[in-house]
Chains A and B, each alone.
Chain A
């Protein structure tokens, strides 16, 4: 019985991230539009877009290979698995020990690896420019992310996210310099990883500024739907990660009552809303930077993360 319940909660988490991901993106778009005094598309527009894309036929370039066709499903699946392993409303889920934080970062690395390859598959300059810029951004963002993971793991004594969240929620962590640095670095990495302003513009279609969009330019129909869905999931994943590590309150621990799970979901959605508003505010307030300014931006994140880790090596209480 307990096993069935645990499986049900794990399944609920998987469906929850799937259902909420487009809503979060729709919410951010809506807030951005309202900040610009536009009406903005409706909150459920991303769902409609996904359905429309899924029903359309795929137009495939003549020389696209099997890799090009398999990548969207792989990317979607890996992102979904990664998102499902992050504590959203509850910790200690049935399969939370399958992959720790390092493995989740690496899973996201796999999705980028395949997307970059797919960008080069058709053999157009667009795909190439997108892929080469994407791997350049990743080559700085990924080590920064890993160093952030190191900092968190050193504070919590674990790379397991459930444990990290539990330790972060306990009163003996308190305010630390290294945590502050990690938070700033993590936000910077999250912005870069999700192709948000100022690193990349999710709404652009101007060649010179595209990174992520250039890479997936050849995709259409259901393939594009999968990739868009994966992008929504990734945004949700990073927001969930930041909130479960730095705002770990309201997470339901294992074997709680049904009512507390409902409360946990409501608290989680509240956190998503707050992060969404903050992201929209930030994106509205700042301009996109040139591609070759991005290394400076991410280099700063890398150095902050390294400094945070170094501080923890110097003293566990910093």
Chain B
């Protein structure tokens, strides 16, 4: 019997083989179909394996060691509950993106820049999750980063894409450096790079603190934690849409996996203050991310910023789980961890769905700028329907899935007054407030995203001639929309399958949910809190149909079409509609003046003149200006100084070399 981990490595090998094949056949006409079909097949098979593994008996780990990598340790791979769960997320997202790519990829102007890297990217993400030693992990991590970088650069001639790729590369290298140092600290002076050895080691408090900070920098920069998020809204939208979906929906989750693997698994007992750091960063990320998204008018960038918000939510839940674990409250810790894992799954569903929808809009109209869209609900009814499902889910509205994970997180927050530390006592309610705020702002943001893009009247001619997209893209989107609804109305099923992960990480699990009457979810006791998505869904559906039936049957069903009320001004131009920027104006005035130092300047024509009025909005990116501009400035300054070294005479170079040698020898001689 071949072990599960070996089977999965076979899947990874198949993906890498597909990548190699793609290099050869990329310019062929049928290549798109072949490559995406193959990745779809492999991802689906791997998904089936890991899903059955997760639902059956994931407690035991399955280990494989290959004679690759560093000769004295080899390459270790391991399949345990945590990696199984993340493999489900990765391969479900991969399968959906491949299915979508079957249709979307046909519109790709340069398939040879996308096809080889797409399977490689999937393989990289699978490898990161499977890796069981630091060397393999870092190698896979870099492989994943570089493959996704290549995909970001697929359309490198487009405006801003080169800059996006550059910033992404810098941030990814920085993140890997932090990870490298973190693993160095974990492996200790002995230098044993297997995760087993790290798990056995007991790092002292300072090492643990340093590892936490380094992991927040390393995994956080890949996940998009504020203030390390700057590359994300540039790079994610620059890639082709199905890759954007993978990067936002899945790769950020792989980063969260790295964080969880090290902090929850390898590092041992957490300390309470580490949760304060995580909670603070998570809360800040959630609110800032969604505020950025609200100010955005590019659909894909809006989605990328919203990813940052969701990552914030996930890290808040993880922080809560840490806080509870540090205080020996395993049940509450399992609850918070379940919320985080559930949201990871949910976000991979709806963010992929939304990016697919944005890609469909891009295919149909050639536009990402919401200010040039509008009225697509008439032209693309199916796409707009599934996009609406995605918007409702991500806005955490019942009975869809986003609400369930948020509800679980709130239930976890309500467990926290029992925490003994004062820092947490003040931090948790504040973060709870931030979460509530970001949830409300997310709803506003997605009213804007859907309303401006799909509702109203078409703002440009390109939109008037848009058509529904192909069947593959629609199939992928409908599948994800169905998953959003299913996870929302049958949350107990998901929660029960997450129990093995929480058991392995925090040593406890939520009570069995599927045994509850009527398929409710009950985290602690029914008298305390319960929620039943299925019944809420049924009640709404039944009462809405009942109301519609009664009124149509007994009152009136007459209907007349007429022009919209225009206050006596007939035929107003579509430009007079609310736009993305004007829709966000009230919120910009409330929050933006504080967060972005937003100022508005209105230039009115003199009384009686018929010229147009002008409104100029000025906003500042607080993170970019406080963190990155000074750093970039310092690097530029240093480079300018060092530049002088290029223009010295040979005598001075010889002097420098001599001085350098002497210093080196002195240091060696004086070294104790």
Contact = CB atoms under 8 A, between A and B. Distances in A.
A292 B587 CA distance: 10
A169 to B, nearest CB: 15
B559 to A, nearest CB: 5
Contacts of B672: none
Contact of B577 (A58, A128, A143, A292): A128
B441 interface: yes
B561 interface: yes
B375 A123 contact: yes
A74 B540 contact: yes
Contacts of B585: 132
B543 interface: yes
A283 interface: no
B654 interface: no
A306 B430 contact: yes
Interface in B583-614: 583-587, 589-590
Nearest to A153: B414
A57 B560 contact: yes
Interface string B428-466: 111011001101110110111011100111000000000
A143 B417 contact: no
Interface in B305-322: none
A109 B443 contact: yes
A154 interface: yes
B417 A147 contact: no
Contact of A81 (B416, B528, B540): B540
A132 B586 contact: yes
Nearest to A149: B410
A60 B543 CA distance: 23
B69 to A, nearest CB: 48
Main secondary structure of the interface of B (DSSP, over half): helix
B196 interface: no
Contacts of B536: 81, 98-99, 103, 107
Contact of A117 (B410, B455, B529): B455
Nearest to A63: B457
Interface stretch (A28-36, A134-142, A257-265): A134-142
Contacts of B572: 124-125
A128 B565 contact: no
B440 A159 contact: no
B578 A131 contact: yes
A222 B555 contact: yes
A241 interface: no
A284 interface: no
A132 B580 CA distance: 10
A143 B531 contact: no
Contact of B584 (A60, A102, A132, A146): A132
Given A80-B543, A117-B447, A159 B578 contact: no
A139 B444 contact: yes
A115 to B, nearest CB: 10
Interface string B531-552: 1100110011101110110010
B189 interface: no
B564 interface: yes
Contacts of A73: 544-545, 547-548
A310 B426 contact: yes
B256 to A, nearest CB: 24
Interface in A84-119: 95, 97-100, 102-103, 106-107, 109-110, 112-113, 116-117
A143 B436 contact: yes
Nearest to B459: A123
Interface in A63-80: 63, 65-67, 73-74, 76-78, 80
B437 A139 contact: yes
A1 interface: no
A190 interface: no
B378 interface: yes
B417 A312 contact: yes
Nearest to A306: B433
Contacts of B561: 59-62
B540 A309 contact: no
Interface residues of B, number: 86
A129 B578 contact: yes
A136 B587 contact: yes
A60 B560 contact: yes
Contacts of B544: 73-74, 76-77
Q: A95, A106, A291: which has the most chain B beta carbons within 10 Å?
A: A106
B498 interface: no
Interface string A278-318: 00000000000001100100000010001001101110100
A159 B411 contact: yes
B91 interface: no
A63 B397 contact: no
A158 B529 contact: yes
Nearest to B378: A65
B564 A122 contact: yes
A120 B560 contact: no
A172 to B, nearest CB: 17
A40 interface: no
Contacts of B410: 102, 146, 150, 159
B643 to A, nearest CB: 50
A138 B432 contact: no
A268 interface: no
A196 interface: no
Given A132-B582, A138-B443, A158-B527, A123 B547 contact: no
Nearest to B396: A106
B414 A163 contact: no
Nearest to A159: B529
Contact of B530 (A58, A160, A312): A160
A136 B414 contact: no
B565 A226 contact: no
A6 interface: no
A110 B589 CA distance: 24
A123 B430 CA distance: 39
B407 A60 contact: no
A80 B426 CA distance: 37
B151 interface: no
A217 interface: yes
B32 interface: no
Contact of A63 (B375, B398, B547, B566): B375
Contacts of B586: 132-133, 135-136, 291-292
Contact of B531 (A99, A128, A221): A99
Contacts of B444: 135-136, 138-139
A269 interface: no
A280 B396 CA distance: 34
Interface string B473-496: 000000000000000000000000
A285 to B, nearest CB: 27
B102 to A, nearest CB: 28
A142 B531 contact: no
Contact of B527 (A61, A77, A103, A160): A160
Contact of A222 (B374, B535, B551): B551
Given A95-B535, A99-B536, A314 B447 contact: no
Residue picked from B407, B416, B437, B444, most chain A C-beta under 10 Å = B444
B395 interface: yes
B573 to A, nearest CB: 11
B425 interface: yes
10 contacts: A59-B560, A97-B520, A102-B529, A117-B447, A117-B450, A120-B447, A143-B437, A159-B410, A221-B558, A314-B425
Kindly list the 3 A-B residue pairs having the minimum CB-CB distance in the complex, ordered from nearest: A128-B578, A57-B558, A123-B456
Given A60-B562, A61-B564, 14 more contacts: A57-B556, A60-B560, A66-B381, A73-B545, A98-B531, A98-B539, A109-B396, A124-B572, A143-B433, A146-B439, A147-B432, A150-B410, A292-B589, A313-B417
Interface of A: 51, 54-63, 65-67, 73-74, 76-78, 80-81, 95, 97-100, 102-103, 106-107, 109-110, 112-113, 116-117, 120-129, 131-133, 135-136, 138-143, 146-147, 150, 153-154, 157-160, 162-163, 207, 217-218, 221-222, 225-226, 291-292, 295, 302, 306, 309-310, 312-314, 316
